[in-house]
Structure 1
Amino acid sequence: MTRVLVASNNPGKIKEIKAILEDSHAEICSLKDLGITADVAETGSTFQENAALKAETLSQKMNMITIADDSGLAVDALNGEPGVFSARYAGLDKNSEHNIDKLLSKLKGVPSGERTAHFVCVLALSVPGQPTHFAEGRCEGLITNSRRGKGGFGYDPVFLIPERQLTFAEMGDAEKNKISHRAQALRRLRENWSSWTGAGQ
């Protein structure tokens, strides 16, 4: 079984990645699993640049296949904010509750029909000695006026899927993993897993 490092300590992300790649015959390891404390600075101006920075740095450091994701929320009424700054929108402590508070405050008074937004996820797959591959997913939705639901993480309580009239936080993991931006990117990664990694499926 191929060991694969996921360059994250976010338990929500790790859980989603393990669930969607469970049939790829890969042993998914987090930074914590391997005792890695390296914190790669996200200095890129795009999701792809940041994902590549993390994947390539840790793949070289650990000499193993590494997946890194950079993802975020883009709100049309805010000219694409918070974008690449989604995790640290309200400060470097990356506090999700504070991020949501800031987002809702900036959207105060914006009508529901103008609260369109989308989640983006770019996955970078770095195999030592090979070019980096990318898989991207995008999910369209609306920002609610207040939090709804107890599940998920990050902005999930305020990201509504209009067709279902549910936020990500109101969906179960199985339903979210069918449509989320990360699920879409992971499915594209899984489709190309053998050719990109050389590992059997």
Structure 2
Amino acid sequence: MITKEEVLKIGKITKPHGLQGELAFHFETDIFDELELPYFICEKDGILVPFFIEDYRFKNDETGLVKFEGIDDEKEAKNLVNADLYIARKFIPEEMDPVELEGSSFYVGYHILTKEKEEIGEITAIDDSTENILFELSTPDGEELLIPAQDEFIVEIDDEKRTITMDLPEGILLLNTENDDLPTDTDEE
């Protein structure tokens, strides 16, 4: 059985396209186009199921069309509408840096640790809307943090444990938090 830890979400199937079983899908990353994949994985009734690719093509920058083997008419295709679409992580070469891939959610769910192995938080999203890519974290206390996803701060990535150990500059975590102990302009009056 395929588990969520073994896959990377790339998008969602949106609707049937035509009468021959082709499906339209919205994608968050086009990493799949750089790989020779035998199949995509769809989540169907909570189970991750591989569907072998007969053909796919791009419709625009956010939408693709895929034809799966064994899905040969509109009725069969409708059964996959709204299914999340994944690829197996085993097909992604180590030299590909998923953090730098536009829209990548590769590290979502990983836990960020200090170099002393203390948990900072879990990655909930990756903000790549600016030049500096940021990990969006949820801390064990329920706070939201942003930290830079820069190679110079990353000490180790453990895909099995789904952790990233980082050596962050002193004070960087305080930039995101409210701290009543820090002086403010009104304290000086």
Q: TM-score by structure 1 length? A: 0.26
| Bigger RCO of structures 1 and 2 (CA < 8 A, at least 6 apart) | 1
**Based on CA coordinates, which of the two structures has the bigger radius of gyration?**
2
Bigger strand fraction: 2
Q: TM-score by structure 2 length? A: 0.28
Bigger helix fraction: 1
